[in-house]
Protein backbone atom coordinates (compact mmCIF):
# COMPACT_ATOMS: atom_id res chain seq x y z
CA UNK A 1 0.00 0.00 0.00
CA UNK A 2 2.86 2.37 0.91
CA UNK A 3 4.58 1.69 -2.42
CA UNK A 4 1.32 2.33 -4.28
CA UNK A 5 0.94 5.73 -2.58
CA UNK A 6 4.52 6.68 -3.41
CA UNK A 7 4.03 5.74 -7.06
CA UNK A 8 0.76 7.66 -7.19
CA UNK A 9 2.37 10.76 -5.70
CA UNK A 10 5.28 10.47 -8.14
CA UNK A 11 3.01 10.24 -11.17
CA UNK A 12 0.86 13.08 -9.83
CA UNK A 13 3.91 15.33 -9.38
CA UNK A 14 5.23 14.56 -12.87
CA UNK A 15 2.05 15.87 -14.49
CA UNK A 16 1.48 18.78 -12.13
CA UNK A 17 2.18 22.06 -13.92
CA UNK A 18 2.33 25.74 -13.03
CA UNK A 19 0.42 28.00 -15.44
CA UNK A 20 0.24 31.74 -15.89
CA UNK A 21 -3.50 32.33 -16.07
CA UNK A 22 -5.08 35.38 -17.71
CA UNK A 23 -8.59 36.72 -18.02
CA UNK A 24 -10.48 39.91 -18.91
CA UNK A 25 -13.30 42.02 -17.50
CA UNK A 26 -16.42 40.18 -18.66
CA UNK A 27 -18.94 39.61 -15.85
CA UNK A 28 -20.52 37.39 -14.71
CA UNK A 29 -17.84 34.99 -15.99
CA UNK A 30 -14.69 36.86 -14.96
CA UNK A 31 -14.24 40.26 -13.35
CA UNK A 32 -12.55 42.20 -10.55
CA UNK A 33 -14.39 42.37 -7.24
CA UNK A 34 -12.72 44.28 -4.39
CA UNK A 35 -9.31 43.83 -5.98
CA UNK A 36 -9.67 40.08 -6.59
CA UNK A 37 -10.46 38.25 -9.82
CA UNK A 38 -13.85 36.62 -9.34
CA UNK A 39 -16.76 35.23 -11.35
CA UNK A 40 -18.36 31.95 -12.40
CA UNK A 41 -15.49 30.92 -14.67
CA UNK A 42 -12.87 31.94 -12.11
CA UNK A 43 -14.37 29.67 -9.48
CA UNK A 44 -14.37 26.84 -12.01
CA UNK A 45 -10.71 27.48 -12.93
CA UNK A 46 -9.65 27.36 -9.29
CA UNK A 47 -11.59 24.15 -8.62
CA UNK A 48 -10.34 22.45 -11.78
CA UNK A 49 -6.69 23.31 -11.12
CA UNK A 50 -6.98 22.15 -7.53
CA UNK A 51 -8.51 18.80 -8.46
CA UNK A 52 -5.99 18.19 -11.24
CA UNK A 53 -3.01 19.15 -9.07
CA UNK A 54 -1.95 22.14 -11.17
CA UNK A 55 -1.07 25.58 -9.86
CA UNK A 56 -1.63 29.17 -10.92
CA UNK A 57 1.69 31.02 -11.09
CA UNK A 58 2.22 33.03 -7.88
CA UNK A 59 -1.37 32.03 -6.96
CA UNK A 60 -2.55 35.05 -8.94
CA UNK A 61 -4.89 35.18 -11.94
CA UNK A 62 -4.00 38.25 -13.98
CA UNK A 63 -6.76 40.42 -15.44
CA UNK A 64 -5.42 42.10 -18.60
CA UNK A 65 -6.81 43.78 -21.72
CA UNK A 66 -8.00 41.00 -24.01
CA UNK A 67 -5.54 41.64 -26.86
CA UNK A 68 -2.54 41.54 -24.53
CA UNK A 69 -3.66 38.38 -22.74
CA UNK A 70 -4.47 36.73 -26.09
CA UNK A 71 -0.95 37.54 -27.36
CA UNK A 72 0.64 36.10 -24.21
CA UNK A 73 -1.14 32.76 -24.51
CA UNK A 74 -0.41 32.56 -28.22
CA UNK A 75 3.31 32.99 -27.65
CA UNK A 76 4.24 31.75 -24.18
CA UNK A 77 4.18 28.15 -22.96
CA UNK A 78 2.35 27.17 -19.78
CA UNK A 79 -0.27 29.88 -20.14
CA UNK A 80 -4.06 29.86 -20.20
CA UNK A 81 -6.77 32.42 -21.01
CA UNK A 82 -10.44 32.33 -20.11
CA UNK A 83 -13.29 32.62 -20.94
CA UNK A 84 -12.65 32.31 -24.70
CA UNK A 85 -15.16 31.67 -27.46
CA UNK A 86 -14.01 28.72 -29.55
CA UNK A 87 -14.13 29.45 -33.27
CA UNK A 88 -12.78 27.89 -36.50
CA UNK A 89 -10.10 30.57 -36.93
CA UNK A 90 -8.84 29.98 -33.37
CA UNK A 91 -9.13 26.18 -33.39
CA UNK A 92 -5.51 25.31 -34.20
CA UNK A 93 -4.03 28.18 -32.19
CA UNK A 94 -4.84 26.79 -28.74
CA UNK A 95 -5.59 23.63 -26.75
CA UNK A 96 -9.15 23.64 -25.45
CA UNK A 97 -10.75 22.61 -22.16
CA UNK A 98 -14.52 22.86 -22.05
CA UNK A 99 -17.11 23.93 -22.91
CA UNK A 100 -17.68 25.77 -19.64
CA UNK A 101 -20.74 27.77 -20.71
CA UNK A 102 -22.35 29.77 -23.49
CA UNK A 103 -22.15 33.42 -24.49
CA UNK A 104 -24.38 35.50 -26.76
CA UNK A 105 -22.45 38.05 -28.78
CA UNK A 106 -24.49 41.03 -29.88
CA UNK A 107 -24.71 44.71 -30.74
CA UNK A 108 -26.01 46.68 -27.75
CA UNK A 109 -27.28 50.26 -27.97
CA UNK A 110 -29.28 52.82 -26.04
CA UNK A 111 -33.01 52.51 -26.64
CA UNK A 112 -33.13 56.27 -27.14
CA UNK A 113 -30.87 55.91 -30.19
CA UNK A 114 -33.65 53.90 -31.85
CA UNK A 115 -31.34 51.79 -33.97
CA UNK A 116 -33.39 49.68 -36.34
CA UNK A 117 -31.20 46.85 -37.60
CA UNK A 118 -33.19 44.60 -39.92
CA UNK A 119 -30.07 43.21 -41.64
CA UNK A 120 -26.32 43.19 -40.93
CA UNK A 121 -25.61 45.63 -43.80
CA UNK A 122 -27.43 48.36 -41.85
CA UNK A 123 -24.82 48.07 -39.09
CA UNK A 124 -22.34 49.85 -41.38
CA UNK A 125 -24.30 53.07 -40.86
CA UNK A 126 -23.38 53.22 -37.18
CA UNK A 127 -20.28 53.86 -35.12
CA UNK A 128 -19.71 50.61 -33.24
CA UNK A 129 -17.25 50.20 -30.40
CA UNK A 130 -15.24 46.98 -30.15
CA UNK A 131 -12.48 45.43 -28.06
CA UNK A 132 -9.63 44.36 -30.42
CA UNK A 133 -9.33 40.65 -31.23
CA UNK A 134 -12.44 39.63 -29.29
CA UNK A 135 -14.97 37.17 -30.69
CA UNK A 136 -17.50 40.03 -31.01
CA UNK A 137 -15.13 42.05 -33.17
CA UNK A 138 -14.23 39.03 -35.27
CA UNK A 139 -17.96 38.39 -35.83
CA UNK A 140 -18.29 41.90 -37.24
CA UNK A 141 -15.25 41.41 -39.46
CA UNK A 142 -16.85 38.24 -40.80
CA UNK A 143 -19.85 40.38 -41.82
CA UNK A 144 -17.61 42.51 -44.02
CA UNK A 145 -16.52 45.24 -41.63
CA UNK A 146 -13.03 46.69 -41.89
CA UNK A 147 -11.12 47.47 -38.72
CA UNK A 148 -10.90 51.15 -39.73
CA UNK A 149 -14.73 51.31 -39.68
CA UNK A 150 -14.82 50.32 -36.02
CA UNK A 151 -14.10 52.30 -32.88
CA UNK A 152 -11.44 49.98 -31.45
CA UNK A 153 -10.02 50.36 -27.94
CA UNK A 154 -8.61 47.81 -25.52
CA UNK A 155 -10.12 49.24 -22.33
CA UNK A 156 -13.59 47.75 -21.80
CA UNK A 157 -14.70 50.35 -19.25
CA UNK A 158 -13.74 53.20 -21.60
CA UNK A 159 -15.79 51.70 -24.42
CA UNK A 160 -18.88 51.42 -22.22
CA UNK A 161 -18.34 54.97 -21.01
CA UNK A 162 -18.40 56.10 -24.66
CA UNK A 163 -21.69 54.26 -25.15
CA UNK A 164 -23.14 55.89 -22.04
CA UNK A 165 -22.04 59.36 -23.21
CA UNK A 166 -23.32 58.84 -26.81
CA UNK A 167 -19.83 59.02 -28.30
CA UNK A 168 -20.51 55.74 -30.10
CA UNK A 169 -23.85 54.42 -31.37
CA UNK A 170 -23.46 50.88 -30.10
CA UNK A 171 -21.00 48.35 -28.75
CA UNK A 172 -20.20 44.77 -29.77
CA UNK A 173 -19.89 42.62 -26.66
CA UNK A 174 -21.40 39.65 -24.86
CA UNK A 175 -24.97 40.34 -23.77
CA UNK A 176 -24.39 39.01 -20.26
CA UNK A 177 -21.19 40.99 -19.80
CA UNK A 178 -22.58 44.20 -21.29
CA UNK A 179 -25.56 44.46 -18.98
CA UNK A 180 -23.48 43.55 -15.92
CA UNK A 181 -20.93 46.26 -16.74
CA UNK A 182 -23.64 48.86 -17.39
CA UNK A 183 -25.14 48.16 -13.96
CA UNK A 184 -21.68 48.49 -12.37
CA UNK A 185 -21.38 51.92 -13.99
CA UNK A 186 -24.67 53.01 -12.43
CA UNK A 187 -26.62 52.85 -15.68
CA UNK A 188 -30.23 51.73 -15.84
CA UNK A 189 -30.11 48.48 -17.81
CA UNK A 190 -33.64 49.17 -19.05
CA UNK A 191 -32.25 52.08 -21.07
CA UNK A 192 -30.27 49.67 -23.27
CA UNK A 193 -31.21 46.89 -25.67
CA UNK A 194 -29.83 44.23 -27.98
CA UNK A 195 -30.34 45.49 -31.53
CA UNK A 196 -28.65 42.63 -33.37
CA UNK A 197 -27.42 39.18 -32.33
CA UNK A 198 -24.09 38.35 -33.93
CA UNK A 199 -23.74 34.73 -32.79
CA UNK A 200 -23.84 32.33 -29.88
CA UNK A 201 -20.56 30.78 -28.83
CA UNK A 202 -19.41 28.08 -26.44
CA UNK A 203 -16.88 29.29 -23.89
CA UNK A 204 -13.65 27.45 -23.10
CA UNK A 205 -10.40 27.61 -21.19
CA UNK A 206 -7.78 28.19 -23.91
CA UNK A 207 -4.26 26.85 -23.25
CA UNK A 208 -1.05 27.45 -25.20
CA UNK A 209 -0.99 25.08 -28.17
CA UNK A 210 2.07 23.16 -26.90
CA UNK A 211 0.46 22.21 -23.59
CA UNK A 212 0.88 18.49 -22.90
CA UNK A 213 -2.03 16.62 -24.45
CA UNK A 214 -2.31 14.35 -21.40
CA UNK A 215 -2.83 17.43 -19.25
CA UNK A 216 -5.61 18.69 -21.55
CA UNK A 217 -7.28 15.26 -21.64
CA UNK A 218 -7.15 14.92 -17.85
CA UNK A 219 -8.59 18.41 -17.37
CA UNK A 220 -11.43 17.74 -19.79
CA UNK A 221 -12.28 14.51 -17.99
CA UNK A 222 -12.21 16.24 -14.60
CA UNK A 223 -14.32 19.11 -15.93
CA UNK A 224 -17.10 16.66 -16.81
CA UNK A 225 -17.42 15.82 -13.12
CA UNK A 226 -17.66 19.52 -12.19
CA UNK A 227 -20.24 20.55 -14.81
CA UNK A 228 -23.37 18.45 -14.78
Domain annotation for the chain: domains and CATH numbers = 2-99+203-226 (3.40.190.10), 103-201 (3.40.190.10)
Q: Is the pLDDT of residue 4 over 60?
A: no
Residues 6+ positions from 41 with CB-CB distance below 8 Å: 23, 29, 30, 82, 83, 100, 101, 203, 205
pLDDT bin (cut points 50, 70, 90) of residue 10 is very low
Instruction: Report the C-alpha gap between 194 and 151 in whole angstroms.
Output: 18
Q: Rounded to the nearest 5 degrees, what angle is found at the Cα of 136, between the Cα atoms of 131 and 140?
A: 105
Answer whether residue 7 shows pLDDT above 90. Answer: no
Mean pLDDT estimate for the chain: 93
Query: What pLDDT sits at residue 3?
Result: 47
Q: How far apart are CA 129 and CA 97, in angstroms?
A: 30
Sign of the Cα torsion 95, 92, 137, 158 reads positive
Rounded CA gap, 19 and 68, in Å?
A: 17
Give the pLDDT confidence of 155-178 residue by residue, as tens digits.
999 999 999 999 999 999 999 999
pLDDT score at 15: 59
Question: For residues 222 and 52, what is the distance between their CA atoms, to the nearest angstrom?
Answer: 7
Whole-number pLDDT of residue 16? 74
Instruction: Please check the confidence at residue 1 and state whether its pLDDT lies above 70.
Output: no
Q: Each residue of 16-66: pLDDT tens digit?
A: 799 999 999 999 999 999 999 999 999 999 999 999 999 999 999 999 999
Express each pLDDT in 180-209 by its tens digit: 999 999 999 999 999 999 999 999 999 999
- Would you mind telling me the total number of residues written for the chain in this entry? 228
Amino acid sequence: MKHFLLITLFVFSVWADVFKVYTEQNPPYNYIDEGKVSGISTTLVETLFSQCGHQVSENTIQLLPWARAYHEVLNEKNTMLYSMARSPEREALFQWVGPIGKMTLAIIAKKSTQLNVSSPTILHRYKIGTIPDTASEKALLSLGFRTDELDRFANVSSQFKKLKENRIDAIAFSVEGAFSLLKEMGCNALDYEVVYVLKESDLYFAFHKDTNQKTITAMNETLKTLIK
